[in-house]
Amino acid sequence: MRAILQARKLFKRYGTGEAAVDALRGVDLAVAPGEFVAIMGPSGSGKSTLLHLLGGLDAASGGESLLGEVGLSNLPDADLTRLRRRSIGVVFQFFNLLPTMTAAENVGLPLALDGIAPGEVSARAAGALAWVGLSGRADHTPDRLSGGEQQRVALARALVFEPKVILADEPTGNLDRAAGEQVLGLLRRACDERGQTVVMVTHDDAAAAHADRVVFLLDGQIADELAGPDLSPEAVARARSRLQA
């Protein structure tokens, strides 16, 4: 099957001269449509950088990220933004919501930015909120939502345009176990029920075990992969320990 998301010899360098750091060193990765991929690795291994480059949130120093057949590096900013808005949903660990907007308004933001009529924005935002189980919280501002609810609103926003790809940067890193499980369950359902592709960065073995495949990064390179029906938190933990040893 043709990959929906690809990294081809991705290279990223931060800083210059003696202070230069190579965060990614020629990463190749292909993600199939509907696949749930977790990216793991120690701090500074390049996980988030890879995610950002795959989503066109940052510019690569070398190599290419592709969404379907479209290369992201050479797209003009306006086109890249439009592509990201419609085809890539992003969820971060912190500060996911705009504080002055209600849950429904936060969810509808990408649609409103796209110039979609307010009536349709409201309807689709309500649908997305219902999907994450937060219909009753539509009019709440972020300060009146729990951390888990805020993250589900953020997920609803990432899903509202029905994008092909959802990128999640440690989405459960700031949540308790129960709230984290809810978010991970929703990401799994996005793949299973909606056919969306999920790429998630995580430190958590149990979170990674929700994925179809776990990619391990070390020093800016892919060091190992784990996939298959026997993917469990214990298996992920073993693989991670093996890598760090």
Partner 1 sequence: MRTLLRLAWHNLRASPVRSALSVLAVGFGVATLVAADGMSRSITSEIARTAEAEAITSFMSEQLDVGLTAVGLVIVLGAGFLTFNAFAMAVAQRRGDFGRLRAAGMTQQQVLGMVLTEAALIGLIGSALGIAGGALLGRGLIELVSATSEMFNRFGDVGASPARMAWAAAAGTLIALWAAWVPARRAVRATPLAALRPPPPDTVRLPPLWPAIIGVTGGVALWLYLALAPPGVWIQPPMASIVSGIFAATWLGCLALILPVLIAATARSVRGLFSRVVGPSGRLASDNLRRHRSHAAFTVVTLAVGVGMIVGVTGYMTFWFEEIFFRISDTALRERPAVGLFPLQADAGLNAYVGVTQFTLPEGLGEEVRAAVGDRATVLPVHFVIVPELAFMGDRYFSFVMDPAELRDSGNMMFTFAAGNWEEAMAIADRGCAMFLTPSVARRQDLWVEDSLRLTTPSGPLACTVAGVGPTFVGASILSDAAAEAFRLTEPVGLVAFGRSPQDHDDLLQALTAIADGHEGVWPMDVNRLTAYQREGMKSVQTAMDGMLILAVLSAGLGVVNTTVIGLTERRREFGLMRAAGATRRQVRSVVVIEGLLFGVLGAVVGMAAGAGVVVVYTTVSGGSSMGFPDFPVWEAALASLRPALGRGLMALLLTPLLTAFVAWIPARHLLRGPVTETLAEGQRAW
Residues that bind partner 1 (CB under 8 A): 52, 55-59, 77-78, 81-82, 84-86, 90, 92, 95-101, 105, 109-110, 112-115, 118, 141-143, 157, 161
Q: 3-state DSSP call for residue 174? A: coil
Residue number, 69 or 77, with CB nearest to partner 1: 77
How far apart CA 180 and CA 38 sit, in angstroms, is 15
- Other CB atoms within 10 Å distance of the CB of residue 182: 19
How far apart CA 228 and CA 245 sit, in angstroms, is 23
Residue number, 72 or 239, with CB nearest to partner 1: 72
Residue number, 109 or 231, with CB nearest to partner 1: 109
Residue number, 114 or 234, with CB nearest to partner 1: 114
Q: How far is the CB of 232 from partner 1 (least distance, A)?
A: 32
Tokens read off for 159: 């899903």
Q: How far is the CB of 82 from partner 1 (least distance, A)?
A: 7
Q: How far is the CB of 131 from partner 1 (least distance, A)?
A: 18
Please check whether residue 153 is in contact with residue 91, taking contact to mean a CB–CB distance below 8 angstroms: no
Q: How far is the CB of 52 from partner 1 (least distance, A)?
A: 5
**Half-sphere exposure (Cβ direction) of 20: Cα atoms closer than 13 Å:** 10
